[in-house]
Every structure is written in structure tokens, then in C-alpha cells.
Amino acid sequence: MNESDSANNPRFSRSVSVGRAESVSPMASAHDHTACIERALKEADLLCANADVRLTELRRKVLELIWQSHAPLGAYRLMEMLEQASDRKRVAPPTVYRALDFLIEQKLIHKVHSLNAFIGCTRPRQPHGDALFICRECGFTEEVASKPIQQAINLSASQQRFEVEDQFMEIIGRCAACRAKQKSGASQEELL
């Protein structure tokens, strides 16, 4: 499934704007992304130094672009953003995908499989099997740790004699801001 397919995915009653760094929940609009970006880059520098791997200029720029919002960002949108931010006329897809693969391997980002997009990891130094709560209307995505869910998965895997190597849950719904916006819109229609 490519990015345009995910935008038309019938699992979403309204399409999520994948790859639009500006499409963030009104709830997060007062949020300081600069602090998120700085923290993510410092964390990446530390993790890569400890793992003795190189965080190249391109990898660092891709990570920075991903952290510009809390909405998943698709690879082709990333390519466009990289081209705008550099002197290069064209950034080749394999180059971006290699950078994304590296960032995933270092646990600095997560792939949002249902949208074929990527989002920054909020806790890269900690082993975790979190869940992503994805608003189907505005695209706001939040990584949430859930110990009870993790314990249930571990118990079920143990009962099946199954070794879990990787996991990540994607939960699609509507954020509080979008629900409130819909509710206020419905209330105004009732007044007319």
C-alpha cells in the first residue's frame, strides 16, 4: 500500500493527512515542537554514540523533519521536505528509505504500518511495546505505554509458546480535540 492508498483507506471514515507536517490536532497546537526536536536529536546523538553508529547529516535531518509534528509522515512527503531544505534537486527514494531503516533499527522512530508513515519514538532508550493512538480526522498520533496490554501479550505468547520479537499496536479513533470540535459544531447546528 502506498501513501495515496492509505489516505483512501476505508478503515478511516475520514482520511488522515499522512505526511502533512502541519496537520496536527488543535490539542497539540500550543505544543512546543522545538523542544521535542531538540530532545529527540540529543537523544539520537547519545544513542548513536553509545551504539558506535553514525548519525549522518541526512539521517539527522530526516529525524528532525519527522519530529516537526506529532502526525505520521510518509516517505514521499519526507523526500519533498528534504528537497526543499537542501540544495539537491532530487532526493532518491532509496536514500530516504535507508535513513528511515537506520532510524527504525536504532529505535528512534516507529513505522505506522496502517498509514505507511513514520513517527518519532518518545522513549527510544527503553524497551517497550507501546501503542500508537492515531486520530483518523487530524492525524495527531501519540505513543502510549500500556503495561496491562504488554502483560496480556506476554501471557498469551507464553501460553502459545511463542517468542515475540517485535510488536506495536495501532489504535485508530478520534482525539479529544476533534471530538470536541464535532460536538461544538453539532451544538451550533441545533441553534439554527
Residue ranges of the chain whose pLDDT lies below 50: 1-28
Check residue 118 and give its pLDDT: 95
Check residue 64 and give its pLDDT: 95
Check residue 32 and give its pLDDT: 72
User: At the topology level of CATH, where does 3-191 sit?
Assistant: Arc Repressor Mutant, subunit A (1.10.10)
Check residue 31 and give its pLDDT: 65
pTM of the model: 0.74
* Parallel, antiparallel or unpaired: strands 117-120 and 141-144: unpaired
Check residue 30 and give its pLDDT: 59
- Residues 36 and 55: their CA atoms lie apart, in Å, by 18
Check residue 15 and give its pLDDT: 31
Tens of pLDDT, residue by residue over 80-115, are 999 988 777 788 899 999 999 999 999 999 999 989
Check residue 134 and give its pLDDT: 92
